[in-house]
Structure 1
Amino acid sequence: MEELISVQNVSFRYQEEHPYVLKDVGLSVQKGEWLAIVGHNGSGKSTLARLLNGLLLPEKGDVLVEGFNSRDEESIWEIRRRVGIVFQNPDNQFVGTSVQDDVAFGLENSGMPREKMLERISESVKKVRMEDFLDQEPHRLSGGQKQRVAIAGIIALRPSIVILDEATSMLDPAGRKEVLQTMRELKEEEGMTVISITHDLEEAARADRIIVMNAGEVIDEGLPVDVFKKGDMLEKIGLDLPFPLQVQRALREKGYDFEKLTLSQEELVNELWTLQLKS
Structure 2
Amino acid sequence: MDNHPISCYHLGHYFQIDGKQLQEQYKEHISDYSGWEQKDHADQWMLFTSNVSSCLGIDETALSNGELYTIVTNKEARGRKGAIVAMIRGTVAEDIIAVLKKIPERLRKRVQEVTMDMAANMQLAIKRCFVNAHRVIDRFHVQKLAYDAVQECRIKYRWEALDAENEAIDQAKRNKTSYQPEVLSNGDTLKQLLARSRYLLFKHHIKWTAVQKHRAELLFERYPQLKKAYQISLKLGDIFKLCKSKEQAFKQLALWYNVVEDCGIDAFKTVARSIKAHYLSILNFFINRATNASAESFNAKVKAFRDQAEFLGEKK
More helix per residue: 1 or 2?
2
TM-score (norm 1): 0.28
TM-score (norm 2): 0.26
CA radius of gyration, larger in: 2
Higher relative contact order (CA 8 A, sep 6+): 1
More strand per residue: 1 or 2?
1
